[in-house]
Amino acid sequence: MTDLGPTIGSASAKDARRQLSVGFVLVPNFTLIAFSAIVDLLRLAADEGDRSRPEKCSWSVLAPDLNPVTASCGLQVLPWETFDRPERFDYIVVVGGLIDRNSTYHPKTLEFLRDAAAKGVSIAGICTGSFALVEAKLMSGRKCCVSWYHFPDLIERYGDIIPVADQLFVEDGKFITCAGGLAALDLGAWMVERHLGPGRAQKSLHIMVTDSARPAAGAQPQPPSVGTVDDPRVRRAMLQIEQNLSTPQKVEDIAQGVGLSKRQLERIFRKVVGKSIQEFSRDLRVFYGLWLLANSDKTITAVATESGFSDISHFNRLFRATFGCAPSTLRREGADAMKLTIQRWQTAQSKTLSDMHIAAAKTLADRHAAMGRPGEMTAPIAALARPPMPGIDLETLGFLQRERRPYF
């Protein structure tokens, strides 16, 4: 059990209201790295060298009670104090982590977040900590940044936010949401630079043996999946494919991983997705190649290899067939041209995605009618009949902020 203790950085200690004060709220099963990255950066920024005195900034760990909070890795952190007076802090930072369909948030946590918002305190949600902000009814109509890994969870649960999964963190008014992981370090550096200046932020990063922080708009290392697929076996197969883009798996291995035979998975996958596993993997990898061209300075050969193509000529042919030009041509035209290509691709595919939703809804409705309940519109049917994220304009959201996988 980790007892960080209130003696070093607590905001309740004498003269604790420094130039920067942060209150941490740890959600059960939070990710330790996201929490520790910001805490250590604050510790180093607070004092000269590595002496750890809270002279420039302070921090505290808050919770509904003083029982230990368990991280996803099993380590436990003791809160320093219970929820009280959020206006003491410049930021309330909610750190999330593992989630499941039965995840709930303590009523006192949600009440504290609403109280902090009412008093004008900036609130940051890290990893799935942003879900707590949504549950507190604070994010309606706002941008909400999440990692590509949790993107399907976000859009499956919440329909009144603008999902962002191509950036490290996003500021929307007094609310900041962060993808989590090491992006928390970038967010921490952003906070320190804003309140204590770039020198303090850079000094802390150098002691942590890193050169510089990435900007908020920095790209996540991999674009996210879009979860319009209900079959858990197909979604798991999709995830396996995406997690092995550089080294594509055999269909037999994917099928074994989801507990099906090769023939069963191929049949179910084609029925749900509308294309074969090989076609899906190929399209995913060539789209990832375009993403890499727009977000890195890798050579085209390196892009092809990282996208899982051992033959660059094969990559070039597929790229040209998909996007209408060679990757070298697009690279010469610059990042804006690549982003415009993606926007055109998204726009062209968005009608296909909506048609998939409508067709799936009709299939479910027909099945419902055959069961003798033709007049009822169940929640799943209603959800499918509705285009995903109504009211959100794909063309205004920018590169990879909406349907990153238009063929899902």
Closest by alpha carbon to 27, among 123, 131, 158?
131
- Angle at which helices 312-323 and 277-295 pack, to 10 degrees? 90
Instruction: Say what the pTM is.
Output: 0.64
Is residue 169 within a helix (H) or strand (E), and if so which, with residue range? strand 169-172
Distance CA 118, CA 195 (A): 22
What pLDDT, on a 0 to 100 scale, did the predictor assign at position 359? Answer: 53
**CA terminus-to-terminus distance, the chain:** 43
| Residue intervals in the chain for CATH 3.40.50.880 | 6-207
Which residues are paired to 162 by β-bridges? 143
pLDDT in single tens digits along all 408 residues of the chain: 545 555 444 444 434 446 899 999 999 999 999 999 999 999 999 988 777 888 899 999 999 999 999 999 999 999 999 999 999 999 999 999 998 766 789 999 999 999 999 999 999 999 999 999 999 999 999 999 999 888 878 888 898 899 888 789 999 999 999 999 999 999 999 999 999 999 999 999 999 999 889 989 877 765 544 445 678 788 888 878 887 888 899 999 999 988 999 999 999 999 888 889 999 899 889 988 888 888 788 899 999 999 999 889 999 999 998 888 899 988 888 877 777 777 776 666 554 444 544 554 455 456 556 655 555 444 444 443 444 333 333 233 332 333 333 322
What pLDDT, on a 0 to 100 scale, did the predictor assign at position 394? Answer: 29
Render pLDDT for 64-96 as a digit per residue (tens, 0 to 9).
999 999 999 999 999 999 999 999 999 999 999
What pLDDT, on a 0 to 100 scale, did the predictor assign at position 379? Answer: 42
Distance CA 187, CA 185 (A): 5
What pLDDT, on a 0 to 100 scale, did the predictor assign at position 228? Answer: 57
Q: In sequence order, what are the residues at sequence separation of 6 or more whose Cβ sits closer than 8 angstroms to the Cβ of residue 31?
A: 71, 72, 95, 96, 97, 98, 127, 180, 181
DSSP string, 213-258: PPPTTPBPSSPPP------HHHHHHHHHHHHTSSSPPPHHHHHHHH
| Residue intervals in the chain for CATH 1.10.10.60 | 232-396
Q: What size, in residues, is the chain? A: 408
What does CATH list as the number for 232-396? 1.10.10.60
Distance CA 251, CA 282 (A): 13
CATH class of 6-207: alpha beta
